[in-house]
Amino acid sequence: MQRAGSGKQSSILDKSLSRGKTEVNFSSFALLFAEMIRYANNRSNTVSDLQDKLSGYGKFVGSRLLDVIVLREKGYRRETKLLNMLMFVKGTIWKNLFNKEADKLERSNDDPCQYLLIEKEPVVNTYISVPKDKGNLNCASFIAGIIEAVLEASNFPCKVSAHWHDGTTYIIQFDRLVIARENALLELAR
Amino acid sequence: MSKQTKFPMGIDSKKISGELFTLTYGALVAELLRDLESPQAVNQQLDKMGYNIGLRLADDLLAKNSQIQRCTDMHQVADVLAKVALRGYLGVTAQVSNWSARNDEFSLVLESNPLAEFVEVPSELAQDLRYSQIICGAIRGALEMMHMEVQTFIVQEQSQSVEIRVKFIRILQESVPPGDD
């Protein structure tokens, strides 16, 4: 590890944080992502293996992005309420990643622990043609991984998966604990 | 290629958040470091992936930049790489320098490296890992599509700047008869 003040090369922690307005050509991203899928595909036996790998990449991205975005956009104040947190994901996070909000946020009627985030055309699926033998493969698993990491790191334990429904739907299955805590908070406020 | 317009709908100038790109690449490198035994193997894999990307990017570049003429010497090639390709796809302009006496070898110096933002390579890997090797592969792949065989390698890489050496080897013939060469 580089010690502070030693050597000519300063540590990355000494640099000021970029404002994050840089943009990169979409083709570069699309081709890079395609190569990653190809690599992951070569190393996995089943569709769910592959989706797990993609979601793993997403978690790597999400856990790092959260700090940066919270710091920049919210002055390092994290959301503690479930609904605010979900709106933060749907709005702020999505805007930072894709420059638009996600399309819809819904609560499942059957299961109080389940929320749905719907995106008609996720960018990561734009140029991916899914082979027939891997019918239910959804490369938006990558984005599901990002969402999961963001929610987990904000202390809303959950599992997020991507499904083909209404475009792409991310099913967010919260830990029972989260909903119980949320209800307790509501009771207190009353 | 107008940089001012933010996220216009035209397909050719579609943009994506630079940080998403950087971090996605980081996720890839981290995964490769876990999967493969040595940093050298990681470099090789990155180079291969870059090569695949380059093969496709070449078409993309020519289709969208009709002002690019046929290059007749390496100086023109270097110009297109530095001013159009790297700017278009990575958002940085490279300096061309250190020409060899025979004009077949040059360096592209990237002052800022969009792939390496937020990145600190641990010191035990810094010797061997070529973090931005994928750019080398992409240049090699793209030039191969233009029938130029080149060698590319990273001369030096610091946290924010990279020097990439490009060496011209030969012109690839349209169709090499089997057994020939």
For A50-96, how does the pLDDT look when each residue is reduced to its tens digit (9 = 90+)? Answer: 999 999 999 999 999 999 999 988 888 889 999 999 999 999 999 98
Q: Do the Cβ atoms of B24 and A98 come within 8 Å?
A: no
Sheet arrangement for strand A114-119: A104-107, A114-119, A168-174, A158-164
For the CA atoms of A31, A37, A42, A46, the dihedral, rounded to the nearest 10 degrees, stands at: -160
pLDDT tens-digit profile of B34-57? Answer: 999 899 999 999 999 999 999 999
Q: Do the Cβ atoms of A27 and B60 come within 8 Å?
A: yes
Q: Residue B28: what pLDDT?
A: 96
Helices (H), A43-140: 47-74, 82-88, 94-98
> Where does the pLDDT of residue B13 fall: very low under 50, low under 70, confident under 90, or very high at 90 and above?
low
Helix (H) or strand (E) holding B34: helix B18-35
Mean pLDDT on A106-127: 88
Residues of A at the B interface (Cβ-Cβ below 8 Å)?
1-2, 9, 11-12, 18, 20, 22-29, 31-33, 35-36, 38-39, 43, 53, 56-58, 60-61, 64-65, 68, 96-99, 123
What's the predicted TM-score (pTM) here?
A: 0.87
Question: What share of chain A has pLDDT > 90, as a percent?
Answer: 57
Q: Do the Cβ atoms of A32 and B25 come within 8 Å?
A: yes
d(CA B89, CA A144): 26
Report if residue B5 sits inside a domain: no
The answer, yes or no, to whether residue B143 has pLDDT greater than 80, is yes
Q: Do the Cβ atoms of B120 and A11 come within 8 Å?
A: yes
Say which of A23, A35, A61 has its CB closest to residue B23.
A61
Which domain range does residue B101 map to? 18-171
- A99: chain B residues, CB-CB within 8 Å: 6-7, 17
The answer, yes or no, to whether residue B9 has pLDDT greater than 50, is no
Q: Residue A148: what pLDDT?
A: 96
Average pLDDT, chain B: 86
Distances (CA, A) of A107 to A87, A144, A157, A174, B9: 12, 17, 17, 11, 31
The answer, yes or no, to whether residue A5 has pLDDT greater than 50, is no
A172: left (phi over 0), alpha (psi -120 to 50) or beta: beta
Q: Residue B4: what pLDDT?
A: 41
**Two tokens at B95?**
């300096």
- B21: chain A residues, CB-CB within 8 Å: 24, 28-29, 32
What string of DSSP letters covers A95-110? HHHHSS--SEEEE-SS
The answer, yes or no, to whether residue A16 has pLDDT greater than 70, is yes
Look up the CATH number of the domain holding residue B132. 3.30.1380.20
Q: What is the number of domains present in chain B?
A: 1
Q: Residue B10: what pLDDT?
A: 37
The 10 Å Cβ neighbour count of residue B163 is 18
Which DSSP symbol is given to B3?
Answer: S
Question: How many CA within 13 A on the CB side of residue A76?
Answer: 0
Between chain A and chain B, how many beta carbons pairs sit less than 8 Å apart? Answer: 119
Spatial neighbors of A114 by CB under 8 A, at least 6 apart, are: A107, A108, A171, A172, A173, A174
d(CA B67, CA B79): 13
Q: B14, A55 in Cβ contact below 8 A?
A: no
Q: Residue B180: what pLDDT?
A: 52
Say which of A12, A23, A123 has its CB closest to residue B120.
A12
- Does the interface predicted TM-score (ipTM) exceed 0.90? no
Q: Which residue has the higher pLDDT, A139 or B54?
A: B54
Report if residue B56 sits inside a domain: yes
Locus of tokens 């090699």: B140
- B36: chain A residues, CB-CB within 8 Å: none
Q: Which residue is closest to B3 within chain A, CA to CA? A: A23
> Which site among B14, B84, B87 would you substitute to test the A interface, given the most A Cβ atoms closer than 10 Å to its Cβ?
B14
Question: What share of chain B has pLDDT > 90, as a percent?
Answer: 57
Report if residue B128 sits inside a domain: yes
> Where does the pLDDT of residue B179 fall: very low under 50, low under 70, confident under 90, or very high at 90 and above?
low
Report if residue B94 sits inside a domain: yes
Q: Do the Cβ atoms of A24 and B120 come within 8 Å?
A: no
Does the domain at A26-189 match CATH 3.30.1380.20? Answer given as yes
> Where does the pLDDT of residue B64 fall: very low under 50, low under 70, confident under 90, or very high at 90 and above?
confident
Q: Which residue is closest to B31 within chain A, CA to CA? A: A57
The answer, yes or no, to whether residue B6 has pLDDT greater than 70, is no
Report if residue B9 sits inside a domain: no
The answer, yes or no, to whether residue B177 has pLDDT greater than 80, is no
Mean pLDDT on A165-182: 92
Mean pLDDT on A120-124: 82
> Where does the pLDDT of residue A150 fall: very low under 50, low under 70, confident under 90, or very high at 90 and above?
very high
> Where does the pLDDT of residue A2 fall: very low under 50, low under 70, confident under 90, or very high at 90 and above?
very low
Q: Residue A135: what pLDDT?
A: 67
Q: Residue A166: what pLDDT?
A: 83
Report if residue B58 sits inside a domain: yes
Q: Residue A6: what pLDDT?
A: 41
**Nearest CA-CA distance, residue A84 and chain B, Å:** 23
Q: Residue A118: what pLDDT?
A: 94
d(CA B40, CA B78): 27
